[in-house]
């Protein structure tokens, strides 16, 4: 039975892989959704403390990072169009730009967190526990957990994009088999989507 | 969509969406700079919602996908708001 002549195409279903990705995205949305509900309740219970603590955050870095993520979302969306138009060079270039923008986002985040650490603010720090009220502790706890979890998603997103980029270069992802790139794009837009809500809730408290 | 073949979004459209998203970001910063009290949170959240609708329908391609995907996304959003509503009912009437 070794040489049975049969035609075997690996099964490929673009709609199904998109559906699978969306189901995964739903779990991610509800994961962050849970954290947003925790945030909403604690802000409702400690409005003044959240306002005071919110002023500690750097609005400029937050705004710059928002624009960076929005641009990177556009470049990866464009790369799908470029792939469909069979423009491999442009697809690769746009994906490289996306990864670079993601890296810049993380570098900004590094400096932003670094300034907080210099001021003695991190989860469980002496300064936070001894000199600040209950509400501030909650605010900064949520700030570090939520932006940290988001940053972790940025790192994972970068890895997925780099894998997709390699496969585009190798030619295993192409106009007739674009699912990996499309799903990488969906994941990246999810990261953008979460930031769209993180930004006003943490940086725009006045 | 009528054609089974993939709908290719022109690059130009994505640039317009980006411009709209960036404009709304700065508008949401602007609206919180004006002192509107309670309403500044509401304003910022309205802009965030509008931005997420743009990202979902254009960048995430829902506008061109099959309707059942849109229905599922809508359902998840609905579940999320239901949980928020019920949780706040609890905290309001304690």
Per-residue model confidence as pLDDT tens for chain A (206 residues):
556 566 666 788 999 999 999 999 999 999 999 999 999 999 999 999 999 999 999 999 999 999 999 999 999 999 999 999 999 999 999 999 999 999 999 999 999 999 999 999 999 899 988 888 999 999 999 999 999 999 999 999 999 999 999 999 999 999 999 999 999 999 999 999 999 999 999 999 87
Separation of alpha carbons B31 and A32, rounded Å = 25
For chain A, give every domain's residue range.
35-203
Confidence of residue B33 (pLDDT cuts 50, 70, 90): confident
Q: What is the pTM of this model?
A: 0.92
For chain B, give every domain's residue range.
1-60, 66-94
Cβ B24 vs Cβ B47: under 8 Å = yes
Probe site for chain B from A22, A68, A70, A80 (most B CB atoms < 10 A)? A70
Q: For residue A124, give both structure tokens.
A: 């469980």
| DSSP labels, A137-200 | HHHHHHHHHHHHHHHHHHHHHHHHHHHHHHHHHHTSSBTTB-HHHHHHHHHHHHHHHHHHHHHH
The answer to whether B8 contacts A81, with C-beta atoms less than 8 Å apart, is: yes
pLDDT digits (tens, 9 = 90+) for B40-94: 888 999 999 999 999 999 999 999 999 999 999 999 999 999 999 999 999 888 8
pLDDT digits (tens, 9 = 90+) for A102-148: 999 999 999 999 999 999 999 989 998 888 899 999 999 999 999 99
Angle at the Cα of A89 from the Cα atoms of A74 and A72, rounded to 5 degrees: 20
Q: Does A178 touch chain B (CB under 8 A)?
A: yes
* Percent of chain A residues past pLDDT 70, beyond the cut: 95
Does 1.20.120.80 match the CATH number of domain A35-203? yes
Q: Which residues of A touch B88 (CB under 8 A)?
A: 40-41, 44
- ipTM reported for the complex surpasses 0.85: yes
Probe site for chain B from A84, A157, A204, A205 (most B CB atoms < 10 A)? A204
């Amino acid at each position: 039975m070794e040489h049975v002549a049969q035609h075997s195409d690996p099964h490929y279903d673009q709609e199904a892989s998109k559906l699978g990705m969306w189901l995964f995205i739903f779990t991610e949305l509800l994961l962050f959704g849970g954290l947003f509900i925790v945030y909403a309740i604690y802000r409702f219970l400690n409005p003044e403390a959240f306002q005071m603590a919110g002023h500690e955050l750097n609005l400029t870095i937050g705004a710059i990072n928002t624009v960076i993520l929005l641009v990177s979302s556009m470049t990866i969306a464009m790369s799908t169009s470029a792939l469909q138009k069979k423009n491999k060079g442009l697809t690769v270039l746009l994906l490289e730009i996306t990864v670079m923008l993601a890296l810049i986002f993380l570098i900004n985040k590094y400096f932003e967190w670094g300034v907080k650490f210099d001021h003695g603010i991190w989860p469980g720090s002496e300064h936070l526990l001894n000199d600040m009220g209950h509400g501030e502790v909650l605010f900064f706890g949520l700030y570090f957990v939520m932006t940290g979890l988001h940053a972790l998603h940025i790192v994972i997103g970068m890895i997925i994009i780099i894998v997709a980029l390699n496969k585009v270069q190798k030619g295993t992802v192409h106009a007739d088999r674009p699912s990996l790139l499309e799903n990488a794009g969906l994941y990246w837009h999810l990261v953008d989507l979460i930031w769209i809500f993180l930004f006003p809730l943490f940086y725009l408290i006045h | 969509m009528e054609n089974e073949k993939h709908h290719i979004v022109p690059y130009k459209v994505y640039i317009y969406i980006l411009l709209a998203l960036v404009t709304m970001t700065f508008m949401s910063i602007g609206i919180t700079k004006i002192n509107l009290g309670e309403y500044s949170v509401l304003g910022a959240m309205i802009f965030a919602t509008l931005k997420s609708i743009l990202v979902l329908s254009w960048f995430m391609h829902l506008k061109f996908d099959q309707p059942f995907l849109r229905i599922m996304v809508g359902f998840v959003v609905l579940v999320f708001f239901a949980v928020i509503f019920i949780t706040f009912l609890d905290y309001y009437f304690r």
